[in-house]
Amino acid sequence: MLSLLGFLLIVLIKPYYRQDRIKTIETISDTIESLLLKDNVNKYDIDNTAKLVIGNNVCTIIVNENGNEIYSSDSLGQLCMLDKKVTIGEESYIIKNEPEKFIEMLKKESSFTTTLYSDITDTEMIMYGEQFKGNLANYYLAINTPLEPVESYINFILNQYLYIALFVIGVSLVVAFFLAKRISKPIVKMKKEANKLAQGNYDAKFESKSFSEINDLANTLDDATEKLSQVNELRKDLVANVSHDIKTPLTMIQAYAEMIKDISGDDPIKRNEHLDVILKETEYLNKLVTDMSELSKLQSGIIEINRDNFDFKECTNKVIELLKQLLVEKNIKLVSNLDDAVLYADEIKISQVIYNFLSNAIKHSNNNSEIEVNIIDDEEKVRLEVIDHGEGISEEALPYIWDRYYKVDKKFNRTVNSTGLGLAIAKAILEAHNAKYGVTSKIGEGSTFYFELSKDYEEE
118 vs 241, beta carbon nearer ligand ADP: 241
Query: Which range touches ligand ADP (CB under 6 A), out of 25-33, 175-183, 301-309, 388-396?
Result: 388-396
The secondary structure element, H or E, covering residue 11 is helix 2-36
218 binds ligand ADP (CB under 6 A): no
**Residue 118, strand partner residues:** 123
Q: How far is CA 428 from the centre of its chain?
A: 33
360 binds ligand ADP (CB under 6 A): yes
Longest dimension (CA), the chain: 158
- Torsions phi, psi of 291, nearest 5? -60, -45
393 binds ligand ADP (CB under 6 A): yes
Q: How far is CA 431 from the centre of its chain?
A: 32
How far CA 176 is from CA of 168, 172, 182, 184, 320, in Å, comes to 12, 6, 10, 11, 74
Query: Which candidate, 242, 193, 192, places its Cα nearest to that of 222?
Result: 193
Q: How far is the CB of 419 from ligand ADP (least distance, A)?
A: 5
Interface with ligand ADP (CB under 6 A), residue from 418, 428, 451, 453: 418
- Torsions phi, psi of 310, nearest 5? -150, 160
Do strands 381-388 and 446-454 pair parallel, antiparallel, or not at all (unpaired)? antiparallel
Interface with ligand ADP (CB under 6 A), residue from 419, 433, 435, 451: 419
Is the Cβ–Cβ distance between 289 and 420 less than 8 Å?
no
249 binds ligand ADP (CB under 6 A): no
How far CA 230 is from CA of 197, 204, 225, 227, in Å, comes to 13, 14, 9, 5
Is the Cβ–Cβ distance between 148 and 116 less than 8 Å?
no
Give the contact letters, 362-381, x = binds to ligand ADP (CB under 6 A), - = no.
--x-----------------
Between CA 193 and CA 206 the distance in angstroms is: 6
Q: Point out the residue whose Cβ comes nearest to ligand ADP.
A: 422
135 vs 415, beta carbon nearer ligand ADP: 415
Site for ligand ADP in 97-136 (CB under 6 A): none
294 binds ligand ADP (CB under 6 A): no
422 binds ligand ADP (CB under 6 A): yes
Interface with ligand ADP (CB under 6 A), residue from 112, 202, 344, 406: 406
Query: Which range touches ligand ADP (CB under 6 A), out of 69-77, 145-153, 218-226, 384-392?
Result: 384-392
Q: How far is the CB of 286 from ligand ADP (least distance, A)?
A: 14
408 binds ligand ADP (CB under 6 A): yes
Interface with ligand ADP (CB under 6 A), residue from 285, 375, 423, 453: 423
Site for ligand ADP in 307-336 (CB under 6 A): none
Contacts with ligand ADP, residue ranges (CB under 6 A): 356, 360-361, 364, 388, 390-391, 393, 401, 406-409, 418-424, 447
